[in-house]
Structure formats: structure tokens, C-alpha cells
Amino acid sequence: MSKAPPREDPSPTGVAVSPEVEAALARGGAVVALESTIICHGMPYPKNLQTAMEVEAIVRENGAVPATIAILDGVPHVGLNSEQLKNLAISGSQFQKTARRDIAQVVASGGNGATTVSATMFFAHKVGIPIFVTGGIGGVHRYGEKTMDISSDLTELGKTPVAVISAGVKSILDIARTLEYLETQGVTVAAYRTNEFPAFFTETSGCKVPCRVDSPEECAKIIYANQNMHLGSGILIAVPVPKQHAASGKVIESAIQQSLQEADAKKIIGNTITPFILDRVKVLTGGSSLEANIALVKNNALTGAKIAVALSDLRK
């Protein structure tokens, strides 16, 4: 029986790591993982490509190597070249939204997958990248106590030692229950230069977090301690949207309420609910939510790169 040759030459882990990322990891340099669902399902073309390229540039300018993660023709890739990144952005929702549960199916069918936070964390950890920057993570949905719609991002944070830098979670979710669930999963939740968990578009959520961090070095020390003790669980570092880019809480909240009602009326459930609501909120806020989204992702990239450099220095 002859075996089909692999499409690329993935490493023994079954993951194709770009030469630049491979070299950085080998020398213990700073690397920042980036997800692809935000590119394919979170933003329209060409803003998605422009943002993805700017985010990679910010990571580089701050001394780290960016590693965007996606599944291309059935092969998980860590670190994309500019052609691959462009193809991803143009293809958009033709790339399957791929959370942990979808990985095996996308690989087995030789498909193209845009990795969510859970799948991106999985691959980042597999190749030894401890830091991952995104916009917002998934969480416990509103009425999650009835629907049990809880993002696999939260269970992934419970079992994968990667630090995720995000602007908190959107108030399309139940933020208080999301924090409860993260506590149950043993996830360290730290808020950056604030005592409150941010709500993505806005700096505040009304929910306090037990851990406050004020510098990249402080974040790096926590990640280092987590690694040295082999806790095995992840860390969520919540960086509030910069003040000048924060959207009006009232406008966002009314757009969210309307979107949730529309989703309910259209009986949208499962993994299409998050992209549906994100898109409706964007339309209902006349695009201002998209601008805030782009600004906060860039800010997270800046902070994440600094943390990655500080961690790499600690390990030397």
C-alpha cells in the first residue's frame, strides 16, 4: 500500500513551521502567535489584510517574530508568508472556522481552516510559543446557563499553558459568568494597568479581577512562574482598548441587544452565532465598532510583543 506524499514537509509534530519562526524558537527569541479566525470571519477584505499586516509589523518593530496560524490544504501552518496571508484574507469565510473540535476533520479532509483562539493556542503550544495576541476571546454566552453555549476558548485556557493577550471579552457575552468559568478552569486572569476586566469596545465591565499587572516585565514574570511550576493552565492578560478608541458603551449595548434579538428570531445557534453578532454590531454601529476593533488589536500586538521580549530575556 503506497502512502500519499505530504503536500509540504511538516515537522515531526505534523505542523509546518516557517523558517523565520523556527529560527527564532531555536535561539530562544521572542515569538508572538496570532490567530486567523479574526482575519477570515471577523473583518471584511481588504481591512482584514491591512490589519493582519500592520499587526505583524507592530510585533516586529517591538522585537518579536509574528507567527500567524492557520490550516492550509490540511497542513497546520505556524508563521505565514505574505502570499499565504493574502490568500487567507481574500478567501475569508471560505476558510472553515476551526476550533479545537474541528482540527482533526479539517486536517483529514485536506481543508483550509481559520483557527480560533482554542485551536491557535493548541498549535502555539505544540511548537513552543507561549504568547498569543488576539482581539477578543470567546466566553460564556448570555443565557449560557440554559443553552450551555460556552466557547472552547475557555476550556483551552484551562488546559494549555499559553498566555493570551486580549481586550477582554465582548459584552455580547455574559462577562461575569465568563470570569466565573475561567476561575473554575484555573486560569490566571490579569488586567493590564487596571483593576477591572475590560469589555472589548469599552475599558470597563463592572467586573473586578483579582490580579493587576502594570508592565510587560510583570506579565513575563507570571508567565515564567506558570511555566516553571508546570501548572499546565493558561493565562489571560486583558488589555483595555486605548481611551481615544473606546466606542460609546450605550451605542454598542443597544446594537448588541438588537443583534441578539435578531439571532434569536433567526434561530442562529452554534459556532455561527459569534460571527453573526459581530457582523450585525458592525453594521448597526455604522462601522465604528470595526475601527475600535482594529485599534485594540494593534494595541494588544504592541503589549504582547513587549511581554514576549521580556519573557525571552528572563529565560536567558
> Among all residues, which ones are annotated catalytic?
35, 170
Residue 156 CB neighbour total at 10 angstroms: 27
By CB under 6 A, residue 42 contacts ligand PSU: yes
Are the C-beta atoms of residues 28 and 315 closer than 8 Å to each other?
yes
Per-residue string for binding with ligand PSU, 16-35, x by CB under 6 A? Answer: -------------------x
117 near ligand PSU, rule: CB under 6 A: yes
If the CB atoms of residues 18 and 151 are measured against Mn ion, the closer one turns out to be 151
Nearer to ligand PSU, 177 or 221 (CB): 177
With CB under 6 A as the contact rule, the residue among 66, 79, 136, 234 that binds ligand PSU is 136
116 part of the interface to ligand PSU, by CB under 6 A: yes
Q: What phi and psi values does residue 307 have, to the nearest 5 degrees? A: -65, -40
Instruction: Find which of Mn ion, ligand PSU, none residue 38 binds, CB within 5 to 8 Å per kind.
Output: ligand PSU
Kindly state the smallest distance separating residue 149's Cβ from Mn ion, in Å: 4
**Residue placing its CB nearer to ligand PSU in the complex, 24 or 277:** 277
Question: What mask of x and - would describe binding to Mn ion in positions 113 to 152, judged by CB under 5 A?
Answer: ------------------------------------x---
Residue 113 near ligand PSU by CB under 6 A: no
Closest distance between Mn ion and the C-beta of residue 275, in Å? 11
Nearest distance, CB of residue 241 and ligand PSU, angstroms: 11
Tell me the three cell numbers of residue 276.
453573526
The answer to whether residue 187 forms part of the interface with ligand PSU (CB under 6 A) is: no
Q: Which is nearer to Mn ion, 152 or 285 (CB)?
A: 152
State the Cα angle at 256 between 251 and 260, rounded to 5°: 155
Helix, strand and coil in the chain, % to nearest 5: 50, 15, 35
- Tell me the C-alpha distance between 289 and 258, whole Å: 15
**C-alpha cell recorded at residue 265:** 428570531
- Among positions 268-287, residues that touch ligand PSU (CB under 6 A) are 271, 274, 278
CA distances from 302 to 55, 134, 142, 297 (A): 8, 11, 31, 9
Query: Considering the complex, what minimum distance in angstroms separates the CB of residue 224 from Mn ion?
Result: 32
Say if CB 308 and CB 32 are below 8 A apart.
yes
Query: Whole-angstrom Cα distance, residue 177 to residue 167?
Result: 17
Q: Which is nearer to ligand PSU, 253 or 313 (CB)?
A: 253
Contact 276, 202 (CB under 8 A): no
What single letter denotes the amino acid at residue 49?
L
* 153 binding Mn ion? (CB under 5 A): no
Give which of ligand PSU, Mn ion, none residue 302 binds (C-beta under 5 to 8 Å, depending on kind).
none
Distance (Å, whole) CA 184 – CA 188:
10
Determine which residue in the list 151, 160, 289, 300 makes contact with ligand PSU, applying CB under 6 A: 151
Supply the DSSP string of 132-167, one letter for each residue: EE-S----BBTTHHHH--B-HHHHHHHHS--EEEES
Q: How many CA atoms lie within 13 A of 38 on its CB side?
A: 28
Distance CA 213, CA 193 (A): 6
* Cβ closest to ligand PSU, residue 99 vs residue 213: 99
Per CB under 6 A, which region of 3-11, 51-59, 133-141, 217-225 contacts ligand PSU?
Answer: 133-141
Binding interface with ligand PSU (CB under 6 A):
35, 37-38, 42, 99, 116-117, 135-138, 151-153, 170, 200, 271, 274, 278
By the criterion CB under 5 A, which residues form the site for Mn ion? 149
